[in-house]
Structure 1
Amino acid sequence: MNDDIELLVERDADSLAAAVADQLVSSIAALQAQGHVPSIVLTGGTIAGSVHRMVAARSDDRVDWTRVELFWGDERFVPADSGERNERQAREALLDHVGVDASRVHPMPADDGTVSLETAAAAYADEVRDRGFDIVMLGVGPDGHVASLFPGKPSLTVVDHDTIAEADSPKPPPSRISLTFAALNRGREVWLLVSGEGKADAVASAIGTGDVTATPAAGVRGTEQTLWMLDEGAASRLPPDMR
């Protein structure tokens, strides 16, 4: 295992989501106690939905949600009211319940029929240009993808843009906007949230071989911390001394 990677392994998906929620609330509270406005990159997916609900349930006076900047690592380029939007999932599970400041919520553009996917991606690049992030949360697919950076795609080698327009995602829907490694790796802390034995091979590949072309999750690193947060199923292909 690379020396700069840390592991947290929980018993199952529920335990993992609870641990992530606790750590997120504690981290945001600590940053705000230092007078900082935390900048968080949210992710989508099943485990993210559980985390969002648990964070909402834990919201108390430790966190001032009007003083949190929120971004997304990727988004499906579909209409704003689509249930496939990561933004909609986050709003319904978390943001609508904690009193966020709308001006500090930075969703990726939706498909409103007036702009192209490429124009929308460029607009979000302007939104995040020169920004660092305190915490970047990412899911990992069974194929090892993170955000909408998929194995073998040209987007894996983009170093001069903060976003890419992915028009042919191997996972539907095909049209997506994603942050690139250049943007994701400006995160002070990167948390990779992975649940289930079906993703165990991808986890082992990303942590063990570091082959970004085959397993894009190997390409993300926090400037201060890279934390893989797993349940026992997702960790099951790692060597025993690493679990």
Structure 2
Amino acid sequence: MTNERRVLVHRDAQELTGSVAARFITKMIDILDEKPEAHVVLTGGRVGVGILGAINESHARDSIDWARVHVWWGDERWLPVGHEERNDTQADLALLDHVGIPAANVHRYGAPDDATESDDGALDAAAARYSDELAAHAADGSTLPTFEITFLGVGPDGHIASLFPDAPGVREQAATAIAVRNSPKPPPERLSLTLPAINSSERIWLAMAGPDKASALGLALAGASIIEVPAAGAKGVRRTVFFVDEEAAQEVPDNLISQEY
């Protein structure tokens, strides 16, 4: 078992999303040949949702036995159920509504309109419930399922999920899911997996496109402080792959770029 980091560069965002979609389908078929089920963590954002759309449009989409796939999210905006800016709503429209994945296998974060607690405690309670749900699907002795693939987007500031630079969430080591307040990116209240939860994943796939991501990618690969550039701390158990377009790869040294593409 290795902990390999690679950068795969694509011509543009369209080529990137299509390539990652094809790779995902192939990998999931292989995983489900070996295991009874697979747990996948999704992300939002333009590229993340674009990948889901490309999976949906692939002629090989139904080669995956979706009934044995569990879906989680790295983070979620604290917005009402069905809100167009929620990550799960966007994932439903792009992919999940089109495949045979059981509703019980789609593990959504809570929302303010389904909370039973007071406004002050609802966000923390939702984080606790997600932690409990993660633990309910974990192997004996663990607090997390085995995430086969975790998708992450990366912000221009280097944030991943809703773990922002120099914020309390990026420092959290004990919890698996947390409440996020005062996010520098709207909306201010969110829910997120923690970095230890993310890094329990077998494979972490970070997808990013555009010139505004070049600095964050360069810093992450150069070993910047995790507190200042959370993306620098993303490391899967087996493999960590940065899927990027040429514009995002402007500051990546040639020796770090895989020759696969």
> What is the Cα deviation at residue 60 of structure 1?
4.0
1:126 to 111, 128, 132: 132
**Amino acid aligned to 2:102:** D
Secondary structure at 2:95's aligned position in 1? helix
- Could you say what the CA RMSD is over the residues aligned between the two structures, in angstroms? 1.3
Secondary structure of residue in 2 paired with 1:7 = strand
The alpha-carbon deviation at position 214 of structure 1 amounts to 1.0
* Cα separation, partners in 2 of 1:79 and 1:206, compared to 1, 3 Å: same
What displacement does 1:171 show?
0.1
Q: Which residue of 1 aligns with 2:85?
A: 84
- Residue 219 and residue 61 in structure 1: after superposition, are their counterparts in 2 closer, same or farther (change >3 A)? same
Mapped to 2, the partners of 1:16 and 1:29 lie a distance apart of 20
Q: Deviation per CA, 1:165-205, whole angstroms, max 9, x where unpaired?
A: 11110000011000001110110000111111111000000
Q: How many residues align?
A: 241
- Runs of 4+ aligned residues of structure 1 deviating over 6 Å after TM superposition are none
**3-state SS of 1:122 partner:** helix
CA displacement 1:87-126 (0-9 Å, x = unmatched): 0000011000112111111011111153311110111011
Question: Once the 2 structures are TM-superposed, how far is the Cα of residue 27 of structure 1 from its aligned partner?
Answer: 0.9
Q: Which moved more, 1:43-52 or 1:128-137?
A: 128-137
Residues 50-199 of structure 1: pairs in structure 2 closer than 5 A: 50-58=50-58, 59-112=60-113, 114-115=116-117, 116-129=122-135, 130=143, 131-199=145-213
Q: Which amino acid aligns with 1:224?
A: R
Query: Which segment drifts farther, 198-207 or 59-68?
Result: 59-68
- Normalising by structure 2, report the TM-score: 0.89
Q: In 2, Cα distance between the equivalents of 1:82 and 1:61?
A: 28
Conserved in 1, the CA contact under 8 Å of 2:12 and 2:209?
Answer: yes
| Cα pair 2:12 2:246 within 8 Å, conserved | yes
Residue identity matched to 1:90: A
SS at match of 1:187: coil
Letter aligned with residue 117 of structure 1: L
Structure 1 residue 210, shift from structure 2 partner: 3.2
CA contact (8 A) 2:53 2:94 kept: yes
Secondary structure of 1:15 counterpart: helix
**% identity of equivalent residues:** 40
CA displacement at 1:35 relative to structure 2:
3.6
Which residue number in structure 1 is paired with residue 245 of structure 2?
231
Secondary structure, counterpart of 1:192 in structure 2: strand
User: Hey, what's the Cα distance between the residues in 1 that align with 2:205 and 2:53?
Assistant: 18
Distance in 2 between residues matched to 1:159 and 1:55, nearest whole Å = 33
Residue 204 to residue 105, structure 1, CA distance change in 2 (3 Å):
same
Q: d(CA) in 2 for partners of 1:114 and 1:197?
A: 43
